[in-house]
Amino acid sequence: MKNNILKRIFFIVLVIMSLFIQSVFADEKITAINYDTSANLLHIMSSNSNEKTEKIKPVVLSNPKRIYFDIKNAVLATERQNFQISSGGDLRQIMVSQNSTNPNIVRVVIYFAENYNSSKMKILKLKDNYFVTFNNQICSDTNYMKTVFRDDKFENTDYFSFISMTSQTFPSSDNKSLNNIEKSEKVLNQIKQAFENPNANAKQSSYQKNNSKQMQKVFNLKTKYYLNNVSNNEYGILINGYGNFSIEKPVKYTSPERFVFDMPNTMTSSNIRNKTLNYNNDTVRIGQFEANKSRMVITTEDANKFLPIFSLDNQSVLIANKEKLNHAKLVDTKTNLINTKYTKTDNQNHGLNFYFDKPVIYSIKRAEKNITIYFFNAMQFNEDNFKANIKNSEMNLSKIELMPEIGLRYSLPLDANDKIKVYAGADSRTIKLAIQSPNKKISNKSQTPEKTQEPVITIPPSNYESTRPVQNENPVTKDRNPNEKVVVIDPGHGGVDCGATRAGIYEKDITTDVSKRVAALLRSSGYKVYMTRDEDKTVELKERVDFTESVAPDLFVSIHVNSSEGTTATGIETHYYHDYSIDLAKDVHNSMVKYISSKDRGLFKSKFYVINHTTMPAILVEIGFISNEAERTELVKEKRKQATAKAIAEGIMNYYEHQQKK
């Protein structure tokens, strides 16, 4: 009897200890998963920062080659993901799922080519972000920059890049999830818009017209921020959610007086949509303005009294009433501005980086002719350093002031046509102001222009600044004989990178053969043709871009063979990224449809590295599916290869002809 009592007491103690441990070590929530095809970077975002997170230990397995790692004490708060990477290279597939619920473990499984060197893969945790890179170019000291404020109302980045049309989600089978799928299918028009140039009245492709229902099943619109709570307090209106919060330039309206904040890449919970919240004499209402944009309308007599203040983790923002704001209570941590750096990307784009020794709380006030950024918890800055960095630059009218009780205030006058963006580092210690001045050329007497890249974790050379470039939609060209036609053909993969492989057939062999045929046809017609490789050798993506930039051709065409997890997909696709590449994409794709007897899968706006980082019209063509047995058989035949080469070459010639007419 006594033993039974002791056992019960012991059991109760264990239960209490278990509950205590769970309360202390609260599970983190994985709220967003994104694979950036351009940067070759996996980004996993969680809702909280757990300083006691166990060190992640990757496990390498073979047959097939794969690496998995577990995020312990974690709950997958989004749908499990299965990214099929059919663009070639070392990476083949990424799967993220809830591996177990007792204990809670999220597992990430990554499949590679068999010859992949597993030591190249690196995992980094920065605050609420996990980053996985797949090559040796990784540096934990470089910030991952994310947009928090912008002037533009629409951007290509409002939509996640699609990965060769095979990115999938796996919702549960309950009715609620099925209803969500049906709702997401209603946003086809918004998805379609992401693949068209909004300024060029691009027409719907034949694939989109004939297969809209199929596209609805394949593509689900994804947002970067889920807004699930709005409340008011003595300081203003507090917005909470999960993901990466950002806002556009606020707009003021009259009759009645109201202030509008648009939040791109945001989905608002149905529980708070269109509900009116009273704040003193003002009212606040949030609705789903577009499929991936939320809108907050504040009806007020004085719109200028409100400031958006961003939290350290970028999960929430306080639309603060500056008349009632107690700056001392915003955050306990104090920080110092330790450095500033002027950057210049080209003759119309420049910016200023602010580096802090600890996370910074900030607010952005955008007026018609100026911008002001408040760093509320910043206590010190080096005025001489600041002045030296902006001297003889377009930022020389900038001012930084130390304000009583507020911290630092930065201000800069702007021209009416200037457009701005503000980025924040994932660790909240870096803020970047980027300015595009379309109506003037920016002088730079004392600074050296710096080449920019996407905001990813890399090891930059000494003269490199890790910033996200403001989009320049004008292709770069070099002076040359106007009658000379120069083209770069890029055979996909090569060497140790076999590309997609099925039944002993390698993508690299097909792309090499077809590319040589395209080059021969163009040369016979008087074109000057360069190839990024003309034999079976390994050429990195950056090498291909650097070579192309050194040649500075009129256009760039990368040739690939598609693949999917299943075996039924067939057809041809053409991908572009910059809007100035649309005409080339249309001409080449129409020619392929004409000469190649296969399904027309249409045009796609995609963020592949080689067409993202080249500065002339550039496209990537997928000439068929190696994963489909019937099409694979055709792809290796002389007839199909020659027809494909003729189609691409003729499409290029048609592009030149159409450009001359324009």
CATH of the domain at 490: 3.40.630.40
Closest CA to 369 of 302, 416, 406, 309: 416
Which tokens go with 572?
């041809």
| Mean pLDDT value of segment 169-198 | 36
Q: Which domain does 579 fall in, by range? A: 486-661
Structural domain contains residue 368: no
Q: What is the DSSP string of 138-173?
A: --TTS--EEEEEES-S--GGGSPPPSTT-EEEE--S
**CA dist list (Å): 302 to 84, 306, 318, 367, 539:** 51, 8, 17, 14, 59
Which tokens go with 189?
């028009």
Q: What is the pLDDT of residues 218-227, one digit of tens each?
A: 333 345 677 8
Structural domain contains residue 329: no
Structural domain contains residue 650: yes
Structural domain contains residue 287: no
Give the residue, 646 or 227, on which the prediction is more confident: 646
Sign of CA dihedral 319, 323, 327, 329: negative
CB-based contact 57:74 (threshold 8 Å) = no
Q: What is the pLDDT of residues 432-445, one digit of tens each?
A: 999 988 766 555 44
Among 119, 135, 151, which residue terminates a domain?
135
Which tokens go with 317?
């923002």
Tokens 């990466």 belong to: 244
- List the CATH number of the domain containing 119: 2.60.40.3500
CB-based contact 435:351 (threshold 8 Å) = yes
State the pTM of this model: 0.48
Structural domain contains residue 147: no
**CA dist list (Å): 392 to 350, 413, 431:** 13, 16, 22
Distance CA 531, CA 518 (A): 10
In three-state secondary structure terms, 14 is: helix
In this structure, what is the dihedral angle of CA atoms 193, 196, 201, 203, given to the nearest 10 degrees?
Answer: -90
Our count of domains for the chain comes to: 2
Which tokens go with 298?
């504040």
Q: What does DSSP assign to residue 461? A: -
| φ, ψ at 550 (rounded to 5°) | -70, -35
Among 135, 151, 183, which residue terminates a domain?
135
Q: What is the pLDDT of residues 59-83, one digit of tens each?
A: 998 888 889 999 988 888 777 787 7
Is 449 a residue whose pLDDT tops 50?
no
Q: What is the pLDDT of residues 472-495, one digit of tens each?
A: 344 444 556 767 899 999 999 999
Q: What is the pLDDT of residues 525-546, one digit of tens each?
A: 999 999 999 999 999 988 999 9
pLDDT band for position 137 (cuts 50, 70, 90): very low
Q: What is the DSSP string of 273-303?
A: TT-EEEETTEEEEEEEEETTEEEEEEE-S-G
Report the DSSP beta bridge partners of residue 151.
none
Structural domain contains residue 538: yes
Which tokens go with 368?
């018609």
How many CA atoms within 13 Å lie on the side-chain side of 218? 18
Closest CA to 218 of 179, 184, 242, 174: 184
**Radius of gyration, CA atoms only, the chain:** 27
Cα of 411 vs its chain's centroid, Å:
29
- The pLDDT of residue 38 is 53
CB-based contact 93:85 (threshold 8 Å) = yes
Task: Decide: residue 301, CB within 10 A, 0-12 exposed, 13-18 middle, 19+ buried.
Answer: exposed
Structural domain contains residue 655: yes
Q: Which of the residue ranges 76-90, 497-511, 585-599 would you say has the lowest mean pLDDT?
A: 76-90
Among 135, 152, 185, which residue terminates a domain?
135
Return the number of other C-beta atoms located less than 10 Å from residue 163's C-beta. Answer: 20
Give the residue, 29 or 510, on which the prediction is more confident: 510
pLDDT band for position 452 (cuts 50, 70, 90): very low
In three-state secondary structure terms, 344 is: strand
Structural domain contains residue 575: yes
CB-based contact 141:421 (threshold 8 Å) = no
Which H, E and C letters describe 347-391, residue by residue?
Answer: CCEEEEEEEECCCCCEEEEECCCEEEEEECCEEEECHHHHHHHHC
